[in-house]
Structure 1
Amino acid sequence: MGWRGILGFDYGIVQAPLGPDISGPELVAAVAKAGAIGILRAPDWESPDYLRELIKRTRSLTDKPFGVAIVLAFPHDENLKVILEEKVALLQVYWGEFPRELVEQAHQAGVKVLHQIGSFEEAEKAKKAGVDGIIVQGREAGGHVIGQEGLMALLPRVVDLVYDNGISVIAAGGIVDARGYVAALALGAHGVCLGTRFLATKESFAHPFYKQKLIEMDRTEYTDVFGRARWPGAPHRVLQTPFFGQCRNLPEEINEASQPIIGSSVIHGVPKEIPRYAGTVPNATTTGDLESMVLYAGQGVGLIKEILPAGQVVEMLVEGAQRIICESFL
């Protein structure tokens, strides 16, 4: 079962890499201490010295293994070198191909590779590349969503694809509690990846306003309104805030590049201005018109009722899944 451990970790629970810097050292260390897989989000630009310090800061908070994620759509070659040099336990890649030669390079450094995919075709490529694990992201997921298929339909196909290859399959999209965890295991997954649930934790670097909206709101929508200029062709799932309700039908030719500045933030140590319709969620440093900023969330957000310590989230998932299986299936 997933709680018995995958990829060398105690439990089959993955904390998704939350952008742009929401999953920082404090959250990752808390998840790692609880026996699950915490993943740092690397900058979406080349910043090798900063990333090395980020890894060291995390190691100062825990002696447990953890991972680092890169988005392949953005510059990452120098960041990747640092990840391999620092020999973190796991490299997570997303939104692009990661060929066999790079997987082998990671393996030579003692780093396992976890590739997040959104289609069966992407899963075939990841299998061919020799990755250690595949995160199957359904359309229910929050944040940027690369695929169009629902998790229930896509997950079993990927499980069947890699069943004899020793590749761990991890389900992602709308999972926030033990019931979702058990459902994913029933479909053949070895573990689960949660983003929104770990976003709503005490250790996440999200702005308190953002966390509160995750508790108050329960509806999301799949859209392409935010961040069109910086990351074209990258649809996402967001909370249905009043501001989003006003701009959900935004004409395709309008994007954040020509919009007024509505706030500012420090992201991975770099001051950034936030224009209207930007794809940047508010972190703890953000100031300005927070009501008009994007708030990513998955479809399971309505099940989140409180902000909890990340370690407690892991504990609830593990104990809850064990209880459900013992009471209902044994």
Structure 2
Amino acid sequence: MGWRGILGFDYGIVQAPLGPDISGPELVAAVANAGAIGLLRAPDWECPDYLRELIRKTRSLTDKPFGVGLILSFPHEENLKAILDEKVGLLQVYWGEFPKERVDDAHRAGVKVLHQVGSIEQAKKAVDACVDGIIVQGYEAGGHVIGQDGLIALLPRVVDLVGDRDIVVIAAGSIVNGRGYAAALALGAHGVCLGTRFLATEESYAHPIYKRKLVELDKTAYTNIFGRARWPGAPQRVMRTSFFNEYGSLSDHDNETNHPVIGHSTINGMGKEVRRFAGTVPNATTTGEIESMPMYAGEGVGLIKEILPADQVVKNLVEEAKQVIQQRFHSSKNSK
């Protein structure tokens, strides 16, 4: 294993499952080939045959293990069965309960389980379920945010909770470079999970305008105006685009079903209308008023200056983190 390897992978770097289909086979395979952990995102509806195709296409691009992320608040029983049948390396679960019986099912299939949490209470349930790893998501994170605690406060509490159990703790929330990686390690994490930084890669399936905004913009907002009908009670962090700055408020009783269609998109093989204030981010197929659609990003987006190949992102993270630790920590120790 290489530097800070976790769960049998070379590096302690996880590429978040970017939805609804932004982290496709190309991105996941590129991350896996670089020695990090790539995660597909399962569709938000039951389509096990399509999910199997995604997994098999990814396998045609890499001989390394990878995983699939599953949102538990959407229908997922058939998709979960497909994931376990395909015996992927990892299953990442989020936004719901995944008790020990389910974890045991995954382990019997040879699949390791990561549970993403946003509070110490959720972390306790994950520990009780005997998961293989816990992704601790801070309030700073992009996309849908499950908790209210900042990463720097929550992460050490989860590290202390896990103690000497054989569970890796992975930090998530506005980590985009080696300095963030080193900071997470200093707080006790075994690795890091990045979403926004991997959005801004050549292999990401995000729309080119979305990618450009990740480089151009540096401010985000925590909001609940997008996708209320499809996914109620799921606030999100988005970039402060011109659209958001002008229309970033919505009556508590309003949602996307009351607003016009502003575009179309093919998502996981299905054609979809995109309404104003829908929660679906623009992928490479999306047409219409792209800049009026939500663009998820974490608070660290201001540190992203260019679109890079995914393997270069992994390499930079490792080399920068090593350099920071060597210069900041070892040099300070040696000077005393």
The TM tier, using the shorter chain, reads over 0.9
**In the aligned structure 2, how far is the partner of 1:296 from the partner of 1:116?**
18
Q: Which residue of 1 aligns with 2:333?
A: none
Q: Do structure 1's residue 4 and structure 2's residue 4 form an aligned pair?
A: yes
Amino acid at match of 1:193: C
**In the aligned structure 1, how far is the partner of 2:16 from the partner of 2:3?**
17
SS in 2 for 1:324: helix
Q: Which residue of 2 aligns with 1:249?
A: 249
Q: Do structure 1's residue 84 and structure 2's residue 62 form an aligned pair?
A: no
Q: Which residue of 1 aligns with 2:237?
A: 237
Determine if contact 1:215/1:306 at 8 Å carries over to the other structure: yes
**In the aligned structure 1, how far is the partner of 2:93 from the partner of 2:316?**
27
Q: What per-residue deviation string (whole Å, max 9, x for no partner) do you get for residues 195-217 of structure 1?
A: 00000000000000000000000
**In the aligned structure 1, how far is the partner of 2:197 from the partner of 2:100?**
32
Amino acid at match of 2:73: A
Q: Following TM superposition, by how much is the alpha carbon of 1:7 offset from its aligned partner in structure 2, in angstroms?
A: 0.8
Q: What per-residue deviation string (whole Å, max 9, x for no partner) do you get for residues 237-273 of structure 1?
A: 0000111112222111111012110000000000000
Q: Following TM superposition, by how much is the alpha carbon of 1:164 offset from its aligned partner in structure 2, in angstroms?
A: 1.3
SS in 1 for 2:80: helix
Q: Which residue of 1 aligns with 2:146?
A: 146
SS in 1 for 2:321: helix
Q: Which residue of 2 aligns with 1:286?
A: 286
**In the aligned structure 1, how far is the partner of 2:314 from the partner of 2:303?**
16
SS in 1 for 2:166: coil
Q: Decide which moves more: 244-253 or 303-312.
A: 244-253
SS in 2 for 1:38: strand
**In the aligned structure 1, how far is the partner of 2:253 from the partner of 2:290?**
24
In structure 2, stretches of 5+ residues that fail to align are 331-336
Q: Which residue of 2 aligns with 1:320?
A: 320
**In the aligned structure 2, how far is the partner of 1:19 from the partner of 1:201?**
15
RMSD of equivalent CA atoms: 1.0
SS in 1 for 2:206: coil
Q: Following TM superposition, by how much is the alpha carbon of 1:93 offset from its aligned partner in structure 2, in angstroms?
A: 0.1
**In the aligned structure 1, how far is the partner of 2:43 from the partner of 2:179?**
33
**In the aligned structure 2, how far is the partner of 1:318 from the partner of 1:131?**
26
Q: Which residue of 2 aligns with 1:30?
A: 30
Q: Which residue of 1 aligns with 2:17?
A: 17
Amino acid at match of 2:195: G
Determine if contact 1:159/1:169 at 8 Å carries over to the other structure: yes
SS in 2 for 1:246: helix
Q: Which residue of 2 aligns with 1:125?
A: 125
Q: What per-residue deviation string (whole Å, max 9, x for no partner) do you get for residues 121-166 of structure 1?
A: 0000000000000000000000000000000000000000002111
**In the aligned structure 1, how far is the partner of 2:291 from the partner of 2:209?**
9
Q: Which residue of 2 aligns with 1:66?
A: 66
Q: Which residue of 2 aligns with 1:204?
A: 204
Amino acid at match of 2:200: A
**In the aligned structure 2, how far is the partner of 1:78 from the partner of 1:180?**
37
Q: Which residue of 2 aligns with 1:52?
A: 52
TM-score, normalised with respect to structure 2 = 0.97
Q: Which residue of 2 aligns with 1:135?
A: 135
Q: Following TM superposition, by how much is the alpha carbon of 1:33 offset from its aligned partner in structure 2, in angstroms?
A: 0.2
**In the aligned structure 1, how far is the partner of 2:75 from the partner of 2:8?**
29
SS in 2 for 1:218: coil
**In the aligned structure 1, how far is the partner of 2:184 from the partner of 2:151?**
9
Q: Which runs of 4+ in 1 moved over 2 A?
A: 1-4
Q: Quick one: structure 1 residues 47 and 178, their matched pair in 2 at CA, closer, same or farther if it must change by over 3 Å?
A: same
Q: Which residue of 2 aligns with 1:297?
A: 297
**In the aligned structure 1, how far is the partner of 2:123 from the partner of 2:57?**
33
Q: Which residue of 2 aligns with 1:193?
A: 193
In structure 1, stretches of 5+ residues that fail to align are none
Determine if contact 1:25/1:57 at 8 Å carries over to the other structure: yes
Determine if contact 2:4/2:191 at 8 Å carries over to the other structure: no
SS in 1 for 2:14: strand
Q: Percent of pairs identical after alignment?
A: 74
SS in 1 for 2:37: coil
**In the aligned structure 2, how far is the partner of 1:291 from the partner of 1:221?**
16
Q: Following TM superposition, by how much is the alpha carbon of 1:328 offset from its aligned partner in structure 2, in angstroms?
A: 1.8
Q: Which residue of 1 aligns with 2:75?
A: 75
**In the aligned structure 2, how far is the partner of 1:105 from the partner of 1:201?**
34
Query: How many equivalent residue pairs?
Result: 330
Determine if contact 2:132/2:168 at 8 Å carries over to the other structure: yes
Amino acid at match of 2:169: V
Q: Following TM superposition, by how much is the alpha carbon of 1:324 offset from its aligned partner in structure 2, in angstroms?
A: 1.2
**In the aligned structure 1, how far is the partner of 2:295 from the partner of 2:151?**
22
Q: Following TM superposition, by how much is the alpha carbon of 1:2 offset from its aligned partner in structure 2, in angstroms?
A: 9.1
Amino acid at match of 1:105: D
Q: Do structure 1's residue 311 and structure 2's residue 319 form an aligned pair?
A: no
Amino acid at match of 1:107: H
